[in-house]
Amino acid sequence: MLEAGCEPDEVACGTMLCGYAKWGRHKAMLSFFSAVQQRGITPPAAVFNFMISSLQKKNLHSNVIDIWNHMINNRVIPNHFTYTIVIASLVKGGHAEEAFKTFKKMKSLGFVPEEATYCLLISLSSKIENHDESFGLYDEMRSHGIIPSNFTCASLLAVYYKNEDYPKALTLFAEMKKYKITADEVIYGLIIRIYGKLGLYQEAQDTFDEIEKLGMLSGEKTYTTMAQVHMSAGNTDKALQIMELMKSKNLLCSRYAYSVMLQCYVMMGDLPSAEDTFRSLSKVELPDPVSCNDMLSLYMRQGLPEKAKEFIFQIRKHNVEFDEQLLKTVMKIYSKEGMVIDTEKLLEELSTNKIFEDSKLCQTLLMATRGTWDKLVEVENASTAFELSLTLILADGNNEKAQEILGTLIKAPNGLSVASQVLKSFAREGDISKAENLLELIMKLGCNPDESAIAHMIRLYGKQHKLRHAEKIFAALADSTRNATLLYDAMIDAYNRCGKQEEAYLFYKKVINKGSVMGPIAISMVVNALTNCGKYKEAEDVIHSTFEANVEIDTVAYNTFIKAMLSTGKLNFAASIYERMVSLKIDPSIQTYNTMISVYGRGRNLDKAVEMFNMARSKEIPLDEKAYTTMICYYGKARKIHEASTLFTKMQEEGIKPGQLCYSIMMNAYASAGSYHHEAEKVFHSMQRNGIQPDTTTYLALIRVYVMGSEYDKAEKAITSMQNGGVALSCAHFKVLLAGYAKNGCIKECERIYSDLRKVGLEPDIHCNRSMLRGYMDCGHAEEGIAFFESIRESVERDKFILSMAVHLYRSAGMELKAEEVLRSMNSLGIRFLKSLEVGAKSRIC
């Protein structure tokens, strides 16, 4: 064309550029594009789109941006496709600000961005931690009816997780299921973590099981996440099962995986297994400081300082990298053991390490070991250094040097506070000799530790049952403190720990009579202690005194007061305490509502109990299992079985898993209401499916419901199941069957059950004997009844039911003298005779 002297037009140039783009000859395309520009030819938007699309496929984002700029400069009008390609290249090329500007321009022209564009910008916003922008983009996208992709959801879930906005994360996950957006292992792993953070451990396990069924469990991260969730729940056995499963699939190979397994054994306190795991970890690569810290913590927890010291020697020998936490732990061990030379040597080594170049902890510890106390006083946050130095010197037995450190320390602005902190540390760890030594040194310098440190000392004496020592330190230092509240709390705690509840009450009275005021913690402890030891009047007096003095108390104290009055049966007073609490605008807690449900429930005021339950729900207080269980219990007692059953279902729908007690109470509700054995059976099987083993109480409820439904064979099978399962049998289980058979006149069955009771090694109690004798009397079996009474007479001297039945049986058999003898015995003992009983009342069905 050129040789023939024909000047190429826009169409010819565009065709050539599209050809180069299609063949992927990008250098030639860009060179030709440059020539086209020199001729003043501007290709149409479609050609530009072809070029930038081809360049982007090869990740040539800078070239895409250059061509985009040419388009803008030459006033070529971009379309939807152009914006989509350019925004993607701007994001991937690291031009975040320009990407958002172009995105806004695109929308201003009326173009609706694609899901891929939103996805890129949401991901970008998440990376630069502009979380509000991420959420805004997602809401905007959804307003256009665009269904998010798997990648978009993963980005948002990560943001929600970082922001601890777990409910929104779960809502998004539910949306994914609704729109059938496929979740990958990464998303499932995040959901497991979120369930763990919310304490929804069963949901986390269910999600893990779901991934396993889908065949998506491939990476170790999901296993370790599930294991960590179980550890957070305190289920170290389950965590270990997950790690063992991972090991069986040859996935246990990284340092991180071994570290998680090590944490399991450390939590369990299984030292041999922890040591084996640490050895395996060491073979993979050099152990991390967190794992080393876990091992040292385990050694110290198990009282093995020699092993801890040997372990430190080994990790130093193998040049394990220290972090500040590991350094603190090692320093605490060295300090406790008085290892001055080792401390100095370690700090000198670490001071040349780049990691600790800017470490204030390391530098201040070095100053402390070198004895430059005056310089150390000037350093901010040097308290840890002083604390470890004091511990080290005191453990080394060098009181003179300790006195020197203290003298310098106390001159510093916060010096006494640091010394008090060290004293608290000794007291917390139960190291009474070091605590007493330090306290004496502080007092020699004419100072007193702060209230918190004195309180810790008093509590320590209480724990060690050295009550007189606690009283002595209180008497010596209480008057010199500005605020004695902490000391009052500690003294009451000490009295309670030593089992001296009456002395605690006398101490309370003494403080009050002096005109001093105790805080809510001490008052709560006094009331609780008095209630627990049966001193109900004194507990009530404390409550009245507190109200009369208008002492400001918190929710916990009010809860203690209400619970105490519930225990004493003072239900009206308990209700009035709650009313006072509400009138003073003290916010009730879930414990308040739980207790008040019991107050009204025990007072047979079911409407009020329901009102309390509904009030807690209306205030969006998260209801726990106890609240539901208590409410179900009182519905059951009122025989409102429909309400109990509905609430039992509702709690499970809200993600609250019933415990053993809740299952037993639900079955008891069915038993109280009559023939609901089918429903009770379902509850029983549901309990077993959920991994909760029925106990003696559960079986008692099951037997009751079977007997109420006249399902005696099933009731007996339940007893057999208990025996086979090693669940403890009691007279109560047999008594229910005995009473049931007796009521229906099945005297032979009563005799068999009574015999079985003895065969399992139980001694029949008063209730079993009553049921047996009642059976004989109701069926008109006077002779058998008399023989039975005479066999048990010595053990039932004061039971009016059994003695009254005996009189009726003797009279029925014409044995008036015997009947009169029993009557005289009853009269002499002041036992009322029951005239209304009748021999043979059920002889028609016997």
Report which DSSP code applies to 190. Answer: H
DSSP annotation of 214: T
pLDDT of residue 639: 87
pLDDT at residue 9, as a whole number: 67
Q: If residue 834 lies in a helix (H) or strand (E), which one and from where to where?
A: none
- Which pLDDT belongs to residue 382? 58
Q: Give φ, ψ of 723 to 5 degrees.
A: -60, -45
How far is 107 from 428, CA to CA, in rounded Å? 63
CATH architecture of 730-828: Alpha Horseshoe (1.25)
Q: Which range among 30-34, 92-96, 725-729, 815-819 has the greatest average pLDDT?
A: 815-819
Q: What is the mean pLDDT of the chain?
A: 86
For the chain, give every domain's residue range. Answer: 730-828
Give 641-658 pLDDT, tens digit per residue: 899 999 998 888 877 888
Whether 845 has a pLDDT exceeding 70, the answer reads no
pLDDT at site 156: 87
Sign, CA dihedral 313-315-319-320, equals: negative
Rounded-to-integer distance, Cα 709 and Cα 134, Å: 60
pLDDT band of residue 843 (cuts 50, 70, 90) is low
pLDDT, tens only, 56-74: 888 888 888 888 888 888 8
418-444: pLDDT as tens digits: 788 888 888 888 888 888 888 888 888
Dist. CA 714–CA 667, nearest whole Å = 15
- Long-range pairs, 383-388, Cβ under 8 A, ≥24: 383/414, 383/417, 383/418, 383/421, 384/328, 385/361, 386/415, 386/418, 386/419, 386/422, 387/418, 387/421, 387/422, 387/425, 388/331, 388/332, 388/335
Q: pLDDT > 90: what percent of the chain?
A: 27
Q: Within 13 Å and on the Cβ side, how many CA atoms surround 153?
A: 26
- Beta-carbon contacts of residue 755 (< 8 Å; ≥ 6 apart): none
- Whole-angstrom distance, CA of residue 831 vs CA of residue 817: 19
Task: Judge contact between 815 and 781, C-beta under 8 A.
Answer: no
Q: Report angle CA 11, 14, 15 to the nearest 5 degrees.
A: 85
Mapping DSSP onto H, E and C, the string for 685-702 reads HHHHHCCCCCCHHHHHHH
Torsion sign, CA atoms 372, 377, 379, 385: positive
User: What is the Cα–Cα distance from 460 to 231, expressed in whole angstroms?
Assistant: 30
pLDDT at 625: 85
Q: How far is CA 748 from the centre of its chain?
A: 53
**pLDDT for residue 368:** 63
- Separation of alpha carbons 131 and 641, rounded Å: 49
Report the pLDDT averaged over residues 783-811.
Answer: 90
- Place 348 in a pLDDT band, splitting at 50, 70 and 90: confident
- In tens, the pLDDT along 174-212 reads 888 888 888 888 899 999 998 888 888 888 888 898 888
Could you give the dihedral angle defined by the CA atoms of residues 125, 59, 33 and 82, in that order, rounded to the nearest 10 degrees?
Answer: -40
Q: How confident is the model at residue 378 (pLDDT cuts 50, 70, 90)?
A: low
User: Are residues 553 and 572 in contact, defined by beta-carbon separation less than 8 angstroms?
Assistant: no
What are the structure tokens assigned to 677, written together?
A: 């054995």
Q: 482 or 363: which carries more pLDDT confidence?
A: 482
What's the residue count for the chain? Answer: 846
Q: What is the pLDDT of residues 572-614, one digit of tens each?
A: 999 999 999 999 998 888 889 889 999 998 888 889 989 988 8
Q: Which helix (H) or strand (E) holds 272?
A: helix 271-284
The string of pLDDT tens digits covering residues 243-291 is 888 888 887 678 888 898 999 999 989 999 999 999 988 988 888 999 9
Long-range contacts from 79-83, C-beta under 8 angstroms, 24+ separation:
79/45, 79/49, 79/111, 80/106, 80/111, 81/49, 81/53, 82/45, 82/48, 82/49, 82/52, 83/111, 83/113, 83/117
Residue whose structure tokens are 């806004």: 104
533 has a pLDDT exceeding 70: yes
- Amino acid identity for residue 12 in this structure: A
Poorest-confidence range of 187-191, 217-221, 678-682?
A: 217-221
In this model, does residue 458 exceed pLDDT 90? yes
pLDDT band at 381 (very low <50, low <70, confident <90, very high): low
Q: Which of 265, 335, 321 is nearest to 298 (CA)?
A: 265
Give the CA diameter of the chain: 148
**Amino acid 613: pLDDT:** 87
Residue 164 DSSP SS3:
coil
Q: Which region among 86-90, 217-221, 325-329, 755-759 has the lowest average model confidence (pLDDT)? A: 217-221
pTM over 0.85: no
DSSP 780: T
Of the listed ranges 137-141, 293-297, 338-342, the least confidently predicted one is 338-342
pLDDT over 70 percentage in the chain: 95
Torsion, Cα of 451, 454, 458, 461 (10° steps)? 160
Chain segment 437-447, per-residue pLDDT in tens: 888 888 888 88
Residue 559 pLDDT > 90, yes or no?
yes
**Residue 357: what are its φ and ψ, rounded to 5°?**
-55, -40
Look at residue 354 and tell me whether its pLDDT is greater than 80: no
